[in-house]
Structure 1
Amino acid sequence: MNRLRRYAALAGVILLLGMYVATFIFALSGGPAAQSLFRASLGCTILVPVILYAFLIAMKMLHPTKSPVIDAIIFDVGNVLLDFPWLEFAKNMDISEDAKKFILENVIDHPLYAECDLGLKPFETLVEEFCAINPVYKKEIRELIETMYTCVAPYPYTEAWLEELHGKGYRLYILSNWSEHAYEKLKAEGIMDFEKYMDGAIWSFREHMRKPDREIYEKLLRDFRIDPERAVFIDDNPQNIDSAKKMGIRSILFTDIADAKTSLRNLGVL
């Protein structure tokens, strides 16, 4: 697109110079058609830049350009690209009210979930550790941990949003805390197909580190040679946003797709 603009601009300059020279020659020629030729040349001198400008506008519409400031967009996955209503899933489990109450109060926000994200232990070992929180409810806890991934689904906007940004030439990346168990199950079901638009991904379970730790951001920037000053990070967790900002990465706290798109537009991402 930039090369095309340069060629169009050069052609426009040559044409305009030619028109001006022709206008000058016709004005001095004094021939019988001098007056008509002069008017025709003058009209072309005015018309050519108008046509060139209209051509450039049309080309811009056909081939939209990316922001001159941002060239890399980094996405969290859960509750940004994929809906992950884990709390509602737990509330809707078909188990006794006593078991549900215990899970909601003692299991759903347990620190062991961070262990799942880190990928340092086999999944079955983690399930047993969860069940050990209260052996009375080990059946219900196991059901929760083994099937929670089934509530994950793409948002209606996910595919179109990524396809649009990818088509405009932005480099797209994932930086997500995620368990290997959930990833493999969802990948087999096609839920992770949006990865085809990505230029790279850092999953916590593969790297054995997680947000908001500084090291995982450093790895992302280093592995994919991302300039933090030309990147923007989108995440729904304020702690993760704060860590990204400390790395010099512009960041958007995700609340909904409309707000995220507005924030991107404010950065010149159209």
Structure 2
Amino acid sequence: MKEVKALIFDIGGVLAIGSNLKSVGKHLNTKSVHESVANKIGVSLDQYFDALDSAYARSIEGKISEEELLNILSTNFHLSKKKIRSLFSFEYKRVFKQNKELYQFAFKKKKEGYKIAILSDQWHLSYLPLVPKKYSSRFDLVVLSCLEGMRKPDPKIYRRTLRRLKISPEESLFIDNQKWNILAAEKIKMKTILFKNNKQLFKQLKLMGI
């Protein structure tokens, strides 16, 4: 069995966790962001998602640029691009908090010789609020779906991450809170841990000798 050389972390529900929930309900927290933005704009959630149209999904998949996204939202919401960016940034920072204990663990492992990376599905208005540069700059690699033109669980985005890290799948450990993303990683022989909370993760890592 090959030794793990790189730890690869998801963002939402792993490095950024819900501030109001005991569990790591990524989708519940994301919904809360959208509800709050809709409320501040003064529209119903249905009207909000109609205005968001397919731009949200296309942004996550990197099918449109950040500028194109902001143009669409500015037109549909009748707000300036600056206001839109500010609204989403505020709400993501309010709803999600940095998992500082896990960040410190990752940075400690980097000092021990492990490569550390981020692999996450994000849209253009979420990744900067969720992963401040003071954290992301300390990782060896950051791979975000909106900048890559593909998203998990597409095996291509996992392979691209491994290629940039210059490691084999067996030398990686992928940590994510969604089962379907874990299963996709396992199919290409990556080692995985389904994240529930820090205590559970650290226990499993210890059993793996990490």
Corresponding position of 1:115: 58
1:147 equivalenced with 2:91 (yes/no): no
Alignment of 1:251-270 (within 5 A): 251-269=192-210
Corresponding position of 1:176: 120
Distance (whole Å) between structure 1 residues aligned to residue 59 and residue 110 of structure 2: 31
Corresponding position of 2:68: 125
Stretch of structure 1 that moved more, 213-222 or 120-129: 120-129
User: Is residue 173–residue 199 contact of structure 1 (8 Å, CA) maintained in 2?
Assistant: yes
1:167 equivalenced with 2:107 (yes/no): no
Deviation at 1:211, TM superposition (A): 1.0
Distance (whole Å) between structure 1 residues aligned to residue 6 and residue 155 of structure 2: 19
Structure 2: gaps (5+ residues)? 19-28
Deviation at 1:162, TM superposition (A): 1.8
Structure 1 residue aligned with 2:189, among 233, 236, 248?
A: 248
User: Is residue 69–residue 268 contact of structure 1 (8 Å, CA) maintained in 2?
Assistant: no
Distance (whole Å) between structure 1 residues aligned to residue 161 and residue 41 of structure 2: 43
Alignment of 1:1-270 (within 5 A): 69-83=3-17, 85-93=29-37, 95=39, 99-102=43-46, 106=49, 112-127=55-70, 129=72, 138-139=77-78, 147-150=87-90, 151-152=92-93, 153-183=97-127, 185-186=128-129, 191-269=132-210
Q: Secondary structure at the match of 1:180?
A: coil
More helix by share: 1
Deviation at 1:207, TM superposition (A): 1.9
- Deviation per CA, 1:176-225, whole angstroms, max 9, x where unpaired? 12233444x549xx823222432222222222111111111111112221
Deviation at 1:263, TM superposition (A): 1.7
Distance (whole Å) between structure 2 residues aligned to residue 109 and residue 238 of structure 1: 27
Distance (whole Å) between structure 2 residues aligned to residue 79 and residue 216 of structure 1: 19
Across the two proteins, how many residue pairs are aligned to each other? 193
Structure 2 counterpart of 1:175, one-letter code: L
Dislocated runs of 4+, deviation >4 Å: 106-111, 127-132, 142-146
Distance (whole Å) between structure 1 residues aligned to residue 114 and residue 170 of structure 2: 14
Query: With CA pairs under 8 Å and 6+ residues apart, which has the higher RCO, 1 or 2?
Result: 2
Structure 2 counterpart of 1:251, one-letter code: T
User: TM-score, normalized by length of structure 2?
Assistant: 0.74
Structure 1: gaps (5+ residues)? 1-67
Corresponding position of 1:12: none
Corresponding position of 2:21: none
169 and 246 in structure 1: CA distance in 2 versus 1, 3 angstrom threshold: same
User: Is residue 162–residue 197 contact of structure 1 (8 Å, CA) maintained in 2?
Assistant: no
User: Is residue 69–residue 230 contact of structure 1 (8 Å, CA) maintained in 2?
Assistant: yes
Deviation at 1:234, TM superposition (A): 0.5
Distance (whole Å) between structure 2 residues aligned to residue 83 and residue 157 of structure 1: 11
103 and 155 in structure 1: CA distance in 2 versus 1, 3 angstrom threshold: farther
Q: Secondary structure at the match of 2:13?
A: coil
